[in-house]
Amino acid sequence: MNRFFLLSLLFFNLVAVSQPLLFNQQHNEALDFGLSEKEIEAYKSKGYLEVFNEKKHNTKLAKKLFNKKVGKSHTQKGRTENTIYTVVAEAKNKHYRVDYIFLDGNKYDYEQIQKIRKKVKQLLDDGVKFESVARQYSMDRNSTRGGDSGWFKKEKTTADFYNAITNPKYLANETFEIDLPEKNWYYLVRKNYTPTSLNEILILVEKESLR
């Protein structure tokens, strides 16, 4: 394996792994359901907790769980063990969603980034769809989704990014810049979605051995 390939692989992994942290900040989502730390730990002593979101989770299992009341369970049978899913809480939590283009300050200096931003803005002004421009210029995984962040909670992104996207001076469908220089993350963002309260359920997942 040559050196160039190793360096390319390392760079790709750094972008692919670190950049999604923008929407994956450390946050105990069980707290969003009004549970105390003591209650959360009590559940964790039995298994592990998982949050299901009405927009993100569209599997058959998710649909079954959303149709159950708090306290009710669904069991998936296996050869060596059963998996028990119990709905322990439900809530409506506000989520946000934006379209964005990420420019990596580890690869370009700020002057180069501003030149790219200027070019991107011109393309958008000329009528090129944001999705198409993001696929070409954005430098993280979500470029394949046209820069769509998907739905995320306030606590799951950085405070600076959240404060910028909720700043009332930026209008719907307006493209604006966000700089996070301490992380070398630079963005062009467009607000195409209205903040929405989404149904979520908190699931306790337990394993039952059949041996």
- Asked if the model's pLDDT at residue 85 lies above 60, the reply is yes
CB 177 within 8 A of CB 187: yes
* Residues 209, 211: Cα–Cα separation, whole Å: 6
The hierarchical CATH code for the domain 97-194 is 3.10.50.40
Indicate the pTM of the whole model: 0.84
For residue 21, what pLDDT is reported? 78
Any idea where the domains of the chain sit in the sequence? 34-94+197-209, 97-194
* Residue showing tokens 């946050």: 27
pLDDT tens digit sequence for 172-188: 999 999 999 999 999 99
Paired strand residues for 53? 200
| Coil/strand/helix, residue 24 | coil
Burial 57-66 (b: 16+ CB within 10 A, else e): beeeebeebb
* Residues 46, 48: Cα–Cα separation, whole Å: 7
Q: In what order do the strands lie in the sheet with 196-209?
A: 48-53, 196-209, 81-95, 73-76
pLDDT category of residue 81 using cuts at 50, 70 and 90: very high
pLDDT category of residue 211 using cuts at 50, 70 and 90: confident
Q: What are the φ/ψ torsions at residue 99 (nearest 5 degrees)?
A: -105, 140
